[in-house]
Amino acid sequence: METLKLKIKSNLKLLALTLISVILITASSFMSPFFLSIGNIRNLLVHASVLAIMAIPMTFTLISGGLDLSIGSNIAFAGVIGFLVYQFTGNPLIGMIGCLAAGGFIGILNGIMIGYLKINAFMVTLAFLAIVRGATLTITGGRTISVVNKTFNYLGQGSIFGIPVILILIVVLYIIFHYVLRHSILGRSIYAIGGNENAAIVAGIKTKLIILYTYILSGMMAGLCSIFVVGRLSSAQPWAGLGVEFETIVAVVLGGISIAGGEGDLMESLIGVIVLAIILNILGLLPISPFYQYVAKGAIMIGAVFIYGRLKRMQE
Amino acid sequence: MKKSLLWLVVVLLSISMIAVFSLAGCKCKGEEAAPAEKVTEEEAAPAEEEAEEPVVEEKVVIGAAMVDVTNPFFVDVMKGGDQMAGAMNAEVIWKSSEGNLEKQIALIETFIEQDVDVIFIDPLDPVAVIPAIEKAYSAGIPTITAANLVETPGNVSTPFPAKAAFKMLVDMVAAYLDYEGNILYSSGIPGNWILDQYLEGVEEGVAQYENIVLLDEQPAKMDPALSQRIMEGWLTAYDEISAVIFTTDPDMYSAIEAIKNADRINEFPLFSQNGDVKAVEMIQNNNENGVTIDLLSGATRIGAFNIMLAIRLARGEKLPDVLWFGYLPVMNQDTWDYIVEKGFDQDVEWITPEVALEIVANADSEFLNWEPPAE
Domains and CATH numbers, chain B: 60-160+301-325 (3.40.50.2300), 162-296+328-360 (3.40.50.2300)
Most confident region among A3-7, B5-9, B263-267 by mean pLDDT: B263-267
| pLDDT: which is higher, A4 or B170 | B170
Residues B342 and B181: beta-carbon distance below 8 Å:
no
Q: How confident is the model at residue A112 (pLDDT cuts 50, 70, 90)?
A: very high
Residues A112 and A54: beta-carbon distance below 8 Å:
no
List the one residue out of A245, A147, B127 whose CA is nearest residue A155. A147
The string of pLDDT tens digits covering residues B106-143 is: 999 999 999 999 999 999 888 889 999 999 999 999 99
| pLDDT: which is higher, A243 or A222 | A222
Give the percent of chain A with pLDDT over 90: 58
Exposure of B227 in the CB half-sphere (CA atoms within 13 A): 27
The verdict on domain A2-315 having CATH code 1.10.3470 is: yes
Q: Which residue of B has its CA nearest to A235?
A: B128
* SS3 state at B45: helix
In whole angstroms, what is the distance from residue A218 CA to residue A110 CA?
10
In whole angstroms, what is the distance from residue B232 CA to residue B257 CA?
9
In whole angstroms, what is the distance from residue B132 CA to residue B148 CA?
15
Q: What is the pLDDT of residue A92?
A: 94
Give the percent of chain B with pLDDT over 90: 65
In a mutagenesis test of the B interface, which of A20, A29, A244 is the best target, namely the one with the most B β-carbons within 10 Å? A29
Query: To the nearest whole angstrom, how far is the Cα of B325 from the nearest Cα of chain A?
Result: 24
The string of pLDDT tens digits covering residues A177-208 is: 999 999 999 999 999 999 999 999 999 999 99
Q: A34 and B113 in contact by Cβ < 8 A?
A: yes
Q: A142 and B94 in contact by Cβ < 8 A?
A: no
Q: Which residue of B has its CA nearest to A157?
A: B131
Q: A1 and B15 in contact by Cβ < 8 A?
A: no
List the one residue out of A227, A217, A161 whose CA is nearest residue A190. A217
Query: To the nearest whole angstrom, how far is the Cα of A21 from the nearest Cα of chain B?
Result: 10
Exposure of B196 in the CB half-sphere (CA atoms within 13 A): 13
B:300-329 residues touching chain A, CB 8 A cutoff: none
Q: What is the pLDDT of residue B126?
A: 87
Q: What are phi and psi of B63, to 5 degrees?
A: -95, 125
The size of chain A, in residues, is 316
Residue among A22, A144, A281 whose CB faces B125 most closely? A144
B11 touches chain A (CB under 8 A): yes
Residues A278 and A21: beta-carbon distance below 8 Å:
yes
In a mutagenesis test of the B interface, which of A232, A274, A282, A288 is the best target, namely the one with the most B β-carbons within 10 Å? A232
Answer left, alpha or beta for residue B320, where phi above 0 means left and psi between -120 and 50 means alpha: beta
Q: A8 and B4 in contact by Cβ < 8 A?
A: yes
Which chain A residues are closer than 8 Å to B15 by Cβ? 22
Strand A159-160 vs strand A163-164: parallel, antiparallel, or unpaired?
A: antiparallel
List the one residue out of A297, A289, A286, A282 whose CA is nearest residue B94. A289
B30 touches chain A (CB under 8 A): no
In whole angstroms, what is the distance from residue B73 CA to residue B299 CA?
6
Identity at A166, one-letter amino acid code: I
Residue among B18, B109, B112 whose CB faces A26 most closely? B18
Q: What is the pLDDT of residue B1?
A: 44
In whole angstroms, what is the distance from residue A300 CA to residue A304 CA?
6
What DSSP string runs through A254-288? HTT--TTSS---HHHHHHHHHHHHHHHHHHHHS--
CA angle (A106 as vertex; A102, A107 as ends), nearest 5:
110
List the one residue out of B115, B155, B127, B151 whose CA is nearest residue B306. B155
Q: B17 and A26 in contact by Cβ < 8 A?
A: yes
Residue among A26, A40, A239 whose CB faces B21 most closely? A26
In whole angstroms, what is the distance from residue B224 CA to residue B254 CA?
6
Q: What are phi and psi of A111, to 5 degrees?
A: -65, -40
Q: A26 and B91 in contact by Cβ < 8 A?
A: no
What ipTM did this prediction achieve? 0.81
In whole angstroms, what is the distance from residue B189 CA to residue A136 CA?
14
Residue B17 pLDDT > 70: no
Q: A35 and B26 in contact by Cβ < 8 A?
A: yes
Mean local confidence (pLDDT), B180-191: 91
Query: To the nearest whole angstrom, how far is the Cα of A287 from the nearest Cα of chain B?
Result: 5
Query: To the nearest whole angstrom, how far is the Cα of A7 from the nearest Cα of chain B?
Result: 10
Helix H or strand E segment including B368? helix B363-368
DSSP state at residue B265: T
Which chain A residues are closer than 8 Å to B196 by Cβ? 142-143
